Each structure stands twice: as structure tokens, then as C-alpha cells.
Amino acid sequence: MNAGKVTLVGAGPGDPELLTLKALKAIQAATVLLVDDLVSQEIVAFAAPTARVVYVGKRGGCKSTPQAFIEKLMVMAAKEGEVVVRLKGGDPFIFGRGGEEVEHLREAGIEVQVVNGITSGLAAVTSLGVPLTHREHAHGVVFVTGHAHPGSQGADWRALAAAARDAKLTLVVYMGVSGAARIQEELLTALPASTPVAIIQRASLPDQRHAVTTLGQLDATIAREQLASPSVIVVGDVIRGVAAARSAPAQFRVA
């Protein structure tokens, strides 16, 4: 029996129209799909009727399928000659454990490819009509997780705040809602309380919700608006453009 292969596919933030053509072709060709919790059913529906779909949900704060078990399933299916797609929300290489999975598969002698997807941090601000970088307001962007690995202190928020202030950076925080109070407190050591912030929940999906506030009101706004995971928190002066985007003529608005 010929050995199969594994493709890590980024399903994007949820809207099926944001899939790349390469991702769509990989999904349609798969005989086995291992699907993350945040991948929409509209995207899973692109799979062949004969494909075996296995849900291996992984979501912060919830009971998840162990990573070692997912990696074992990929190796077993590939060695049985299956065409395996590991379908992951967003992009496999941005907080998707794609690096760990590629290493494990290569060590097992399995051919592996990666298809990028639009990460939710980008889709979230685009849905508000503003950019992540801007020549006047943001010279760069930092993607950072608000979820610390067990036994780790996580991101150095004070250092990030100083860097964002000094280098004019946009901070995009994934999985940060549950730790928003601490993140806010640490960022305020170097950034003013008036720094604009947006919290976007379920970016790109029909039930997307968002709130625009300031760093000084971040945690209070999340509580008041009852925003929850999956959400992205965007900190920086680019968010000042949200009001302008909403007041722009219709032909200039982001769909």
C-alpha cells in the first residue's frame, strides 16, 4: 500500500468565501478530514460525500481532544494510504499548532504540506474597515496569544506595551478575553488609557459582534457587552479609523 499524505489546511476565520482556491481543492480531494472546533459547517460541506470526517475540537477554556491523539490519528490514516486534511481555523502556522504537527509528521516519515488561511486577526479588523498597519498610525503589527502555555508566564505584556508605544505597533491579541483584566493592567504600564481598542467576536461570520472602546475600559467593556471567545482584541491607533470607515460613502465601505 502506498503511503498517504497529510495537508494542514487553513480554513480561515469562518466565512467560506474567504477560503483560498488551494484550500478548497485540498478539502475536496481529502479522504479523511480532521476538523477543528471553529471550522464552519459550510466549509466542511465542501468535502467529498465519501470522505470520513472526524471532529477533533480544540477551543480555549473547553474540553479539547488531546494534541497527541490528533497527531496519532494523522499518522495512522496516512500510513493506511489516506489523503488526510487537517482542517484548522484561521492559519495553521498562527497559533494553530501547525509547527508541532509538521514536526511530528516528518519524524514519522509522513509527507506533509501546508496551505495557508486568512488569520482571524486580519479578518477581524478588515470587517471594521480599518487596516492593521498604516504609514501614519502603525509601522508594524504583533500577533500574540493571551493564553499562556501551562507552566509558562505567557507574553511579557509590559515589554509589548513599550514596544507598541515606541515603534508604533498594532497589537493583535488572540485568546485574550478570559485574561483581559491582567492584559489591560500590564499594557497600561506603557500605553495611555485612551489608546483605542476593538474586541471582535466570531470575525467574518453572520453573528459577528464587536465593541470599540479604550484600553482603560477594555475589561469593563467585555463584561458589559458580554463578549466571549472566540474573540480577537486589537490595540492601537489604527482603531481610530473605525468611525471614519462607518461614515464613508457606501462604495468605499468594506463588505
Active-site residue list: 36, 58, 175
Per-residue three-class SS string for the chain: CCCCEEEEEECECCCHHHCCHHHHHHHHHCCEEEECCCCCHHHHCCCCCCCEEEECCCCCCCCCCCHHHHHHHHHHHHHCCCEEEEEECECCCCCCCHHHHHHHHHHCCCEEEEECCCCHHHHHHHHCCCCCCECCCECEEEEEECCCCCCCCCCCHHHHHHHHHHHCEEEEEECCCCCHHHHHHHHCCCCCCCCEEEEEECCCCCCCEEEEEEHHHHHHHHHHHCCCCCEEEEECHHHHHHHHHHHCCHHHCCC
